[in-house]
Amino acid sequence: MDESIHPAAAPASERPRFDRDVCVIGGGGHVGLPFAMICAESGLATVIYDTDRAKVAQIAAGKMPFLEDGADELLPRVLASGRLEVTADPQLERCRFLVLIIGTPVDAHLNPSFSALQRAIDACRDQLRDGHILIVRSTVFPGTSERLERHLRDDLKLDVRVACCPERVAQGKSLEEFRTLPQLVSAFDPGTLEAVKELFGRFCPELVEMVPLEAELCKLMTNSWRYLQFAAVNQFYMLASDHDVDFEHILHGCRHNYPRMSGMSGPGLTAGPCLVKDTLQLAAFSNNQFVLGHAAMLINEGLPAHLVKLARRQTALAGKTVGILGMGFKAESDDPRDSLSYKLKHLLALEAGRVLCHDPYVPDPRLVALEALLAEAEVIFVGAPHRMYRTLAIPAGKVVIDVWNCLPSLASA
């Protein structure tokens, strides 16, 4: 272990001894596993702790449980180096830094919940030690980091320092972006801040220092801003398609040699485990006065119904076989969490005779072969614009709804 990484609050003679640098709690997930590999690659003795024993066994065998660029090569390499361990049994007492990366969903009333984080901490209570540094990497409701530190100090009677360093990577591109994008770092005392700066400085090119509440809000506002941008263009798409105007021609006119609009995205199903959830957390923090966020949710979540309406204008859906191409929440992803393709499937099941779905990545046994979908579906929707669909030949006579302008037969000249 590198002795230069330590909290500055205590003299070296008083610091507890740890034989591992980092334990990633929830380390088998889409964010935790790439982060653990980056830590190990940078020379840190790293432990992945995840309660999913099947996933732990798969990772320990050097097999990635999901798609991540560059990970298939990196995982076996860091395992072979001996700097990466994988376990379903907590070994927190061995590690200086405890990096908390677990899901933080909203509850049934669309409000953020602290319970998942507190359960994770309380489940490890017996292995927590004075001198640990707990890094909150999950996206959390503003004030959660302070609440965690208070819980550790007042309820559990532990001197565990808390830092908030929210992740900001795009799923599937995590390894690249950990190495290239600035990292937000924050803590409640200078010693802890210096320790986390030393940790992240091993692989991150630039650090942005904040106080914890600023870091929490920065992550939420970043995701909410993206969600608002997607909602704006989806609203424009709905307006144009309601009046039978080619939105792709409008989009081309907006962007073409016009720098102020060069960043305008195209329309599409805006989904996944982060954007809408984080927008709702920000709405809750504003006492439900975040009207832009609420409006964005209505637009983005309403797009599947709009697509069904567009299909209905071209043909009666009753009794027909319809197909959806792409069930992941975004292109080139095997992650179906909160994918609006499944919401589209549900809406179509209420009207059509059969709904067939295909995806080259998502492990869903209900999916059908691409050839079967193209042959049998009379109406075809593009749910996720995977690369393989961009050269797909759609048989003549099909009604096609392609909000992404993905299919070659529909792409603008």
Q: Report how far residue 79's alpha carbon sits from residue 87's, in angstroms, rounded to the nearest whole number.
A: 13
**For the whole model, what pTM was predicted?**
0.89
Q: Is residue 409 part of a domain?
A: no
Q: Is residue 394 part of a domain?
A: yes
33 with 177, same domain: the answer is: yes
Name the nearest CA neighbour of 22 among 4, 7, 3, 1. Answer: 1
- Return the pLDDT at 113: 64
Q: Which of 183, 213, 243 is the last residue of a domain?
A: 213
281 with 351, same domain: the answer is: yes
123 with 17, same domain: the answer is: yes
* 24 class by beta-carbon count within 10 Å (0-12 exposed, 13-18 middle, 19+ buried): buried
Q: Is residue 303 part of a domain?
A: yes
183 with 227, same domain: the answer is: no
246 with 395, same domain: the answer is: yes
194 with 233, same domain: the answer is: no
110 with 19, same domain: the answer is: yes
Distance of CA 38 to the CA centre of its chain: 17
Are the beta carbons of 311 and 317 closer than 8 angstroms? yes
Q: Is residue 26 part of a domain?
A: yes
Q: Report how far residue 275's alpha carbon sits from residue 305's, in angstroms, rounded to the nearest whole number.
A: 19
Distance of CA 177 to the CA centre of its chain: 13
Q: Is residue 2 part of a domain?
A: no
The count of other CB atoms within 10 Å of the CB of residue 129 is 16
176 with 204, same domain: the answer is: yes
- Return the pLDDT at 412: 39
The count of other CB atoms within 10 Å of the CB of residue 23 is 30
Indicate if the alpha-carbon torsion angle 107, 210, 129, 21 is positive or negative.
positive
154 with 246, same domain: the answer is: no
Q: Report how far residue 142's alpha carbon sits from residue 213's, in angstroms, rounded to the nearest whole number.
A: 6
Instruction: Name 162's Cβ contacts closer than 8 Å, sequence gap at least 6.
Output: 133, 134, 135, 136, 145, 146, 148, 149, 152, 187, 188, 192, 212
Are the beta carbons of 321 and 405 closer than 8 angstroms? no
100 with 241, same domain: the answer is: no
Name the nearest CA neighbour of 320 among 378, 401, 402. Answer: 378
153 with 268, same domain: the answer is: no
Q: What is the CATH number of the domain that holds 284?
A: 3.40.50.720
Q: Report how far residue 182's alpha carbon sits from residue 207's, in angstroms, rounded to the nearest whole number.
A: 5
Q: Is residue 101 part of a domain?
A: yes
Going by DSSP bridges, is the β-strand pair 161-164/354-358 parallel, antiparallel, or unpaired?
unpaired
- Return the pLDDT at 73: 97
Full DSSP string of 59-74: HHTT--SS--TTHHHH
Q: Report how far residue 243's alpha carbon sits from residue 229's, in angstroms, rounded to the nearest whole number.
A: 22
Q: Which of 213, 237, 255 is the last residue of a domain?
A: 213
Q: Is residue 43 part of a domain?
A: yes
- Find the farthest-apart pair of alpha carbons in the chain and give their distance in angstroms, rounded: 78
182 with 316, same domain: the answer is: no
Name the nearest CA neighbour of 381 among 412, 350, 343. Answer: 343
Q: Which of 169, 184, 213 is the last residue of a domain?
A: 213
- Return the pLDDT at 106: 61
Q: Give me the residues of the chain with pLDDT under 50, please.
A: 1-15, 410-413
Number of domains in the chain: 2
Name the nearest CA neighbour of 283 among 302, 296, 268, 271. Answer: 296
| CA distance from start to end of the chain | 58
pLDDT in tens, 151-174: 999 999 999 999 999 998 899 999
Name the nearest CA neighbour of 281 among 96, 106, 36, 22. Answer: 106
Domain that holds residue 245: 220-401
Instruction: Name 44's Cβ contacts closer than 8 Å, sequence gap at least 6.
Output: 2, 21, 22, 83, 199, 202
Are the beta carbons of 27 and 49 closer than 8 angstroms? yes
